[in-house]
Amino acid sequence: MSDKPATSGRHHDATPGSAADRSAKTAVPDTFPASDPVAPTPAVGTRAVEMTEMMDASDKPDVPNPKSLTARFQDHVTAKLAVEKLVRDLPLDPRCATLSEASGATTLQLTISGSDTDRAMEMLRSGGGDLSA
């Protein structure tokens, strides 16, 4: 007599040797995208935040103790690289920087926090900016 139970030779699950996990197979299709869950009713919509709220152009950055800095650069590319460095290292909100071109030079105007003024001036000088403008 054998200690094994009598079976038909077929496993009850597609992955023999492991326990059946039927709940995972039904849950996976309902989990994408995780950041934007599907709403239970069509009236609510599928976004966590309305698209118009995310793309509001009138949204101004909130800068504590705002100070204005102006730097002049020889070309547009150098000025853009300086802005990218400030955004990455300071950090600076990109909406606080304005680039304008006049007479072959690019002027960068910044609105930054008063506590970051010295660091920003140093970074602008090292990036080729002339702060005497």
Q: Are 98 and 113 in contact, with CB atoms under 8 Å apart?
A: no
Q: Which two tokens stand for residue 96?
A: 């606080």
Average pLDDT, the chain: 77
User: Is position 16 within any domain?
Assistant: no
Stretch 74-88: mean pLDDT, rounded? 94
Summarised one tens digit per residue, pLDDT across range 62-79 is: 888 999 999 999 999 999
Same domain, residue pair 74 and 117: yes
Residue 129 contacts residue 108 (beta carbons within 8 Å):
yes
In a domain, 93, yes or no: yes
Domain assignment present for residue 40? The answer is yes
CB–CB of 92/86 below 8 Å?
A: yes
Residue 92: Cβ-neighbour burial (10 angstroms; 0-12, 13-18, 19+): buried
Are both 50 and 70 inside the same structural domain?
no
Q: What is the CATH number of the domain that holds 116?
A: 3.30.70
- Domain match, 72 and 122 both: yes
Q: Flag whether 59 is in a domain.
A: no
In the predicted structure, residue 106 carries a pLDDT above the cut 70: yes
Work out the angle at residue 39's Cα, subtended by the Cα atoms of residues 38 and 44, and round it to the nearest 5 degrees. 145
CA distances to 26, 66, 80, 92, 116 from 84, rounded to whole Å, are 45, 20, 6, 9, 16
Q: Is 27 inside a domain boundary?
A: yes
Check residues 30 and 119 and name the one with the higher pLDDT. 119
Query: Is residue 61 a part of any domain in this protein?
Result: no
> What's residue 88's pLDDT?
94
The verdict on residue 132 lying in a domain is: no
- Residue 74 and residue 98 in one domain: yes
If one counts the domains in the chain, the total is 2
Name the one residue in this structure whose structure tokens are 């609105």.
111
Three-state secondary structure call for residue 105 = strand
Domain of residue 94: give its range. 66-126
Q: Which of 61, 71, 72, 62 is nearest to 110 (CA)?
A: 71
